Amino acid sequence: MAEMSTHNESEIIRLKQAAGDAAVEQLKSGMIVGLGSGSTATLAVNTIGKRVAEGLRIIGIPTSEKTAAQARGLGIPLSTLESHPAVDITIDGADEVDPALDLIKGGGGKQLREKIVAAASARLVIVVDEGKLVPKLGTHWAVPIEVIKFGWQATAARLRQSGCNPVRRLLPDGEIYITDDGNYILDCQYGPIASPPDLQREIDSIVGVVEHGLFIGMAAQVIVAGGDGIKVLNR
């Protein structure tokens, strides 16, 4: 992929901020709010922090240790799913969104906690820039699959039979990437996925898989920021 110019990078950040701001407008005092992870969610959490400073009263459920640290720094009150098992709304980003509003998430490696919080939410609102819209999932992104360390090679062999070449994720310094929950991530490039629900079922059936980045039928709304402004897509 060609390197983006500084102008393009700043424009994408502006679009992500606009999408995040539009999602945060839905928050009301008294809500339990899932706080997503990743670059777009980080911008939305910053906006939530400003709203809280202005008097918005919410309780946040963070989807990663990084998001928790960010929220604490902004003065956003935090809790857990143990104390608040029903979440009113979660605001999160995505790596790809298809026309059915199905998603690939997990480019940042937080898909397990993101999916747990999303599943506990009455509404999952996804914020993206228009570059994340694709005709089919898998067009640009691999599917991140979180696996336990024990026997991961055997799990990878089973995943290979599903039509991908699993690559264990590494950090930029070459160290193995370890998730917040102590697992590995295998990035599995399938190419354009003909049937995301069928692939989801196949991956779910493989022993050793903890969770994956296919979010099928979970997003209630996708807010897309583009050159023509904000577009809201509803399921």
**Residues belonging to the active site:** 114
Phi first, then psi: what are they for 190, rounded to 5°?
-95, -15
Inter-residue contact 204 to 216 (CB < 8 Å) = no
* Helix or strand holding residue 12 (H, E): helix 6-24
CA distance 137 to 133: 9
Q: Cβ of 104: how many Cβ atoms within 10 Å?
A: 28
| Rounded CA separation 30/149 (Å) | 40
Residues 75 and 52: beta-carbon distance below 8 Å: yes
Locus of tokens 């937080």: 110
Residue pair 230/22 in contact (Cβ under 8 Å)? The answer is yes
Query: Dihedral, CA atoms, 45, 46, 47, 48, nearest 10 degrees?
Result: 50
